[in-house]
């Protein structure tokens, strides 16, 4: 009986695996098609300065509205794109499109673009970056590159070279999701980031944990000493916003301040940014 069960389990497992593999293959084919046919879209999420209470820029977040599946979350297709190398054309498209759109905003607004380590390997990234700036006419210091800490980053001289080249051009470089990797501190020693983005998990837990408040404060102080600014990610409540202000965080981003939105919905906010008057920081939607 046990043997029988074991075999059935095994068969089930194989079937599930088979389905998963087919599904993955199908999604890869569709993603390749989506990249080639301009079916991806960028949503922009506002980033606020806690010093001036104004929008300082927007983070570009890629969206894929699959014709049959609907919105596929980046957490599902970015890893797939990384595994297959499709992240290179995808990332190039996002960078070009984000720069092109940002060039039309008031010129104190920055645009932040996420990069995967794989885009920075080899020697292809420099020309892609120079091309994106040249084609769009975007001033280099209005572009920020967000790189997530990852084992790849620190081990690769190629990646460090690519980031140094970006800095030489005047582009800003941020460390995304700070605190979630194993070696955040070693990264800070190896590369002069302009900004640290404190991961949402730390920010969120500040609401109920004094330890988290202490950790976030320590990160902010550390960043200050290293002449870096800090953006808190995932700010969902007014309370968190006030706490972050109190402990000296310089910038914030999150649903309380504004959700990622399609370009078609940005007009009012961009217009309001144009006269540089401080915007009331109020709950979005
Ligand atoms: P990330 O760069 O850390 O981006 C922040 C994520 O948190 C975004 O998810 C954003 O929608 C979400 N978020 C913002 N505010 C809040 C909040 O208050 N509460 C909560 N719960 N979530 C919030 P999204 O758009 O699903 O993107 C997920 C991740 O996918 C990004 O994390 C980034 O690592 C990656 N990603 C997105 N677009 C790109 C891209 O163009 N290229 C690459 N390489 N990665 C990308
Ligand atoms: Mg990011
Ligand atoms: Mg992040
Ligand atoms: Mg992330």
Atom of ligand 1 nearest to the CA of 233: 15
List all residues whose CB is within 6 A of at least one atom of ligand 1. 45, 61-62, 73-75, 78, 91, 94, 114-116, 146, 148, 176-177, 200, 233-236, 253-255, 260
CB atoms within 10 A of CB 53: 12
CA distance 72 to 66: 7
Distance 43 CA to ligand 4 centre (A): 15
pLDDT digits (tens, 9 = 90+) for 193-216: 999 999 999 999 999 999 999 999
Contacts of 222 (CB under 8 A, 6+ apart): 188
pLDDT given at position 180: 84
Atom of ligand 1 nearest to the CA of 148: 34
The residues, any chain, with a CB within 8 Å of residue 50's CB and separated by 6 or more, are 241, 244, 245, 249, 250, 251, 252
Q: 84-128, pLDDT tens digit by residue?
A: 999 999 999 999 999 999 999 999 999 999 999 999 988 899 999
Cα 196 to middle of ligand 3, angstroms: 10
* Nearest ligand 1 atom, CA 260: 11
Q: Looking up tokens 């199908």, which residue turns up? A: 26
For the residues 44-51, what does the mean pLDDT come to?
96
Determine the Cα–Cα distance for residues 125 and 186; give it in Å rounded to an integer. 24
Backbone angles phi, psi at 282, to 5 degrees: -130, 160
What is the enclosing helix (H) or strand (E) of 34? helix 2-36
Q: Which of 43, 111, 114 to mutate to test the pocket of ligand 1 (most atoms within 8 A of CB)?
A: 114
Name which residue sits closest to atom 25 of ligand 1, judged by CA: 61
Q: Whose CA is nearest to atom 30 of ligand 1?
A: 74
pLDDT for the residue numbered 156? 83
Residue pair 126/39 in contact by the 8 Å Cβ criterion: no
Quick check: 181 pLDDT over 80? Answer: no
Query: Whose CA is closest to 81, among 117, 123, 128, 43?
Result: 117
C-alpha 9 – ligand 2 centre gap (Å): 41
- Per residue in 21-37, pLDDT tens? 888 999 999 999 999 99
In this model, does residue 155 exceed pLDDT 90?
A: no
Q: Torsion over CA of 175, 179, 184 and 185, rounded to 10 degrees?
A: 110
CA–CA distance, 86 with 32 (Å, rounded to integer):
7
* The pTM of the whole model exceeds 0.80: yes
**Stretch 128-149: mean pLDDT, rounded?**
96
Q: Which residues of 96-128 are buried (b: 16+ CB within 10 A; e: fewer)?
A: bbbbebbbebeeebbbbbbbbbbbbeeeebbeb
DSSP 59-75: EEEEEEEETTTEEEPHH
Question: Over the chain, what is the mean pLDDT?
Answer: 89
- List the shell of residues around ion ligand 2, using CB closer than 5 Å: 114, 146, 176
Among 174, 178, 72, 170, residue whose Cα is nearest residue 129 = 170
């Amino acid at each position: 009986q046990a043997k029988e069960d074991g075999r059935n389990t095994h068969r089930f497992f194989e079937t599930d695996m088979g389905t998963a593999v087919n599904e993955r293959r199908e999604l890869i084919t569709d993603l390749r098609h989506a990249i080639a046919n301009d079916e991806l879209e960028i949503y922009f999420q506002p980033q606020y300065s806690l010093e001036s209470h104004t929008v300082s820029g927007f983070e570009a977040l890629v969206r894929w509205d699959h014709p049959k599946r609907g919105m596929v979350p980046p957490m599902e297709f970015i890893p797939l794109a990384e595994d297959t190398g499709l992240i290179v054309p995808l990332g190039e498209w996002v960078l070009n499109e984000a720069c092109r759109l940002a060039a039309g905003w008031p010129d104190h607004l920055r645009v932040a673009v996420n990069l995967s380590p794989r885009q920075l390997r080899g020697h292809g990234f420099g020309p892609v970056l120079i091309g994106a700036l040249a084609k769009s006419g975007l001033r280099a210091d209005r572009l920020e590159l967000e790189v997530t800490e990852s084992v790849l980053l620190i081990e690769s001289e190629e990646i460090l070279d690519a980031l140094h080249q970006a800095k030489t051009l005047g582009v800003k470089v941020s460390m995304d999701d700070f605190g979630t990797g194993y070696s955040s501190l070693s990264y800070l020693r190896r590369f002069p980031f302009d900004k640290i983005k404190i991961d949402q998990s730390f920010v969120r837990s500040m609401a109920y944990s004094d330890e988290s408040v202490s950790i976030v404060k320590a990160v902010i102080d550390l960043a200050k000493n290293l002449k870096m600014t800090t953006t808190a990610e995932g700010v969902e409540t007014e309370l968190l916003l006030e706490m972050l202000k109190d402990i000296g965080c310089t910038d914030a981003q999150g649903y309380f301040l504004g959700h990622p939105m399609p370009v078609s919905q940005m007009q009012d906010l961009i217009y309001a940014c144009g006269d540089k008057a401080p915007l009331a920081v109020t709950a979005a939607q």
